[in-house]
Amino acid sequence: MAYKGKYKPKNRDKYKGNPTNIIYRSLWERRFMVYCDSNDSVVKWSSEEIVIPYRSPFDRKIHKYYPDFWVKIKKHDGTIETSIIEVKPKSQTVPPKPRLNKRKSGRYLLEMKRYGVNEAKWKAATTYCEYKNWKFKIITEDQLLTK
């Protein structure tokens, strides 16, 4: 199975947006798509259909963040919970550990930049969700690899 590709939903009516253009960029994202598509408690879902502006900590400019998923879930008590979900490897959700040598490697600096940008995106998403009375969640392989 390819790490990237198009997902074809079985329950097209559950998808909010264009169901013929659902792109996954990792097998973890695809796994979450299958969950949304097949789980009866998921009322509606979409992938990369919402745009949230954020300010990059590096160039100080406003950029666009397209969160991985928007989901509406019917909870056990009958209430509906709306969330924005970001699927990320666990290693990208924590600051990178400094290297042992004194000189900062290119890889470390790249990881720091990625983490800084992610942090800015997630802060903007949290604020956006608070305004909408939604939840913002980051899901890692820890949640995706459990049944």
Which residue among 37, 48, 68, 86 is the active-site one?
68
Which residue among 16, 44, 74, 88 is the active-site one?
88
Alpha-carbon dihedral 138, 142, 145, 147, rounded to 10 degrees: -90
Identify whether 29 is a catalytic site residue: yes
CA distance 54 to 125: 8
SS3 47: strand
Structure tokens at 85: 């979900």
CA distance 33 to 85: 11
Which residue among 14, 29, 86, 121 is the active-site one?
29
The pair phi, psi for residue 84, each rounded to 5°, is: -105, 130
Are the C-beta atoms of 91 and 72 separated by less than 8 Å?
A: no
| Active-site annotation, residues | 29, 68, 88
